[in-house]
Amino acid sequence: MTRRSDYLAANAGRRSPMPGFVLLVRQRHDGDPTMRIGITVTKKVGNAVVRNRIKRRFRALAREILPVQGVGGADHVLIGRGAALERDWAALVVDLGKALAKAKR
């Protein structure tokens, strides 16, 4: 996702807070079955180096988990929190699985 309006629209979707991130999932209802991903990390979390490390972790996480457990035809937005950098990779994988299961309900 690249447009600000897509992120604002996703904010109206289902919200699943986790220790390392908040997942927003919103169905687009446009007939397109592709899943879109958006990642955002605010300046409150840290400087540019910290924010980019978190975003790289989230992109790798999305590549691994979303094709299997993601919601088809929906926008997925990961909002980074400060704990995302220190959190273990296995814990992030479990958290994203839980968040996606919660969003599907």
According to the model, what pLDDT value does residue 24 have? 94
- Residue 30 neighbours by CB under 8 Å, 6+ apart: 73
> What count of Cα atoms within 13 Å lies in the side-chain half-sphere of residue 36?
17
pLDDT of the chain, 105 residues: tens digit per residue: 889 999 999 999 999 999 999 999 999 888 888 899 999 999 999 999 999 999 999 999 999 999 999 888 899 999 999 899 999 999 999 999 999 999 888
pTM of the model: 0.88
According to the model, what pLDDT value does residue 31 have? 82
**Domains of the chain, with CATH numbers?**
4-104 (3.30.230.10)
According to the model, what pLDDT value does residue 1 have? 85
What DSSP element (H or E) covers 10?
helix 4-10
